[in-house]
Structure 1
């Protein structure tokens, strides 16, 4: 019975480690998405305040989103 409990303990420790890794990955993804959201909000406020310069606006938002994604990837 002691061996069975040891086996269960090891399995539970493995499961806890796995969940901790998944949690960390999800936290990183959430931070990345939050950064993109904030960048888009800032861009929307800028456009609302100054009016939309058609093609420049699209290029700017793409740059902001890509920059945020790259920063998160290297963090």
Structure 2
């Protein structure tokens, strides 16, 4: 079944990616479609930033803000 699965891109407002992902997960669970959704991701990357004071810190950022990736049949 995973051979027929394809990646799809869901476009949403920037900053609402997690809410959209949660909403889709609730919908899938409610409809009993867990076997159709193989993977859902919001791609993140770790970036080192330099603050105004000169200190460095690691921050997680979205690779594609405003998008949710979903692999489904």
- Larger RCO, structure (CA 8 Å, separation 6 or more): 2
- Judging by fraction of residues, say which structure has more strand: 2
Identify, as 1 or 2, the structure richer in helix: 1
